[in-house]
Amino acid sequence: MQRFDFVIIGAGPAGEAASHKARALGASVAIIDRRWFGGSCPHIGCVPSKSLLHAAEVHAHGGDYPWSRASARRDYMINRERIDAPDDSGHVKSLEGAGATVIRGSASLDGPGRVRVGDRVLEAGTVVLAVGSVSRVPRDLPGQGLQFRGVGEPRREVPSSTEAGRSAIERSAFPQKRMFRPWSNKLSSTVVDARRACRSATRSTVSAAALPIDGHTLELAV
């Protein structure tokens, strides 16, 4: 059984920061994540949404910025050029360069000071849980047919009038910044009411949902 001063579960911004700080102080560190090292922000959240906002602003002011170019720039920003999923190898190399042990897999607590990843058990002086959060569906949530979905990679196709990514819903401040309006007018106006309804009902972050509006089903999915 390997022993570390810190075993960090979750390699998003919080887990990464804790890992680098612990290594800077000379502590031994293992950091674990089952998906992207770096978390959702650089791969499916903050970075791609801000890239699309920039493209939308240029396009809205008359610049030559079709959706194909906006999507390609977004893929460049999240290290997903000509591949299916974002590449997190830069985050992995940074952690390994700092001296942390990087483990990809699903972790669980296996007793006091013990963490299991598959068949591997780690002993920890301190366990840091930095796993983020997931959406929940309140029992009294209004809206017939409302369904929440998981999180996936940003889509390369231009969003239709019935689709909007999680970051578009939660981060883009519709309608002020008008993230998709240059490419899809109906989308940006329809999403406003759906976003407000979801946030009012859940009082929490909206991950993804689908609900009927004006006889159509609006999908708020990544």
This prediction's pTM: 0.69
Q: Average pLDDT over the chain, rounded to whole?
A: 75
| pLDDT surpasses 90 at 167 | no
Report the alpha-carbon distance of residue 159 to residue 45 in Å, rounded. 16
The pLDDT tens digits for 124-136 are 999 999 998 776 6
Q: Where are the domains of the chain?
A: 2-39+88-129
| pLDDT surpasses 60 at 92 | yes
Cα distances from 79 to residues 3, 48, 76, 151, in angstroms, run 33, 10, 5, 18
Per-residue pLDDT, averaged over 102-106, amounts to: 96
Residue 152: the pLDDT is: 56
50-78 CB burial, b ≥16 within 10 A, e <16 = bbbbebbeebeeeeebebeebbeebbebb
Per-residue pLDDT, averaged over 123-149, amounts to: 73
Q: Are strands 114-117 and 120-129 parallel, antiparallel or unpaired?
A: antiparallel
Architecture of domain 2-39+88-129: 3-Layer(bba) Sandwich (3.50)
